[in-house]
Copies of this chain bind each other. A is one copy, B any other.
């Protein structure tokens, strides 16, 4: 339990708790496994030029017109009125997204991105880009906050699972005095041999399964299937992998 000059790492389980952490002094990893940050790393891995996260549907429409970009976003599991595409990673294959700009709005993930805008640096993470996220954090030697997007501020299983996977992978290089980090890692170690089975306990699983999105869920839990590293620069997420 000696600090040994390692940078601190915290897990913030809900956007409603973000104010408790030193956002401006940290790299914040935005985590919205189902499905914003899974779709972001997929679009970028498939060659999207950039993904611009916006908080509202109106802003999405406006920005899309301004930049002649693809607009995407859902509200309550349905493509929002006025937008072209949804939140599924399967909507963004190479043939469609390569060299394009995607403007994206989601219920929880893009809101947290907005809230964390003071961070020293913002990257996004999900199981499809677990290893690039971990490698990046290991090389920066900076304080880290793993920020879960949650569900309308309620702690959710899938984002805590991913936070736990990151903690488990990089903890030796960080000073961790954070109960949420221990809880997330314990949860991940319990579930890691079958993440999909564990996810059947999640409230979000039932919301998405209603829409027939089991394949989306499986994809979003697949480690390193879209190993890009989305980093926020001038309001857009670009791939620096």
List the interface of chain A (C-beta within 8 A of B). Answer: 1, 13-14, 16-17, 20, 151-157, 160, 177-180, 182-183, 186-187, 190-191, 201-204, 206
Chain A interface mostly: helix
Q: Bound state CA distance, A188 and B202, in angstroms?
A: 18
How far apart are A112's CB and chain B's nearest CB, in angstroms?
Answer: 15
Q: Bound state CA distance, A180 and B17, in angstroms?
A: 15
How far apart are A157's CB and chain B's nearest CB, in angstroms?
Answer: 4
How far apart are A3's CB and chain B's nearest CB, in angstroms?
Answer: 12
The oligomer's copy count stands at 2
- Residues of chain B within 8 A (CB-CB) of A20 are 16, 152-154
- Residues of chain B within 8 A (CB-CB) of A206 are 1, 177
Q: Bound state CA distance, A90 and B90, in angstroms?
A: 60
A-B contact pairs, 16 of them (CB 8 A): A14-B17, A16-B16, A16-B20, A17-B17, A17-B153, A17-B155, A20-B152, A155-B180, A155-B183, A156-B179, A157-B179, A177-B203, A177-B206, A183-B183, A186-B187, A190-B190
- Residues of chain B within 8 A (CB-CB) of A1 are 206
B182 and A202: CB pair below 8 A?
yes
- Residues of chain B within 8 A (CB-CB) of A154 are 17, 20, 178-180
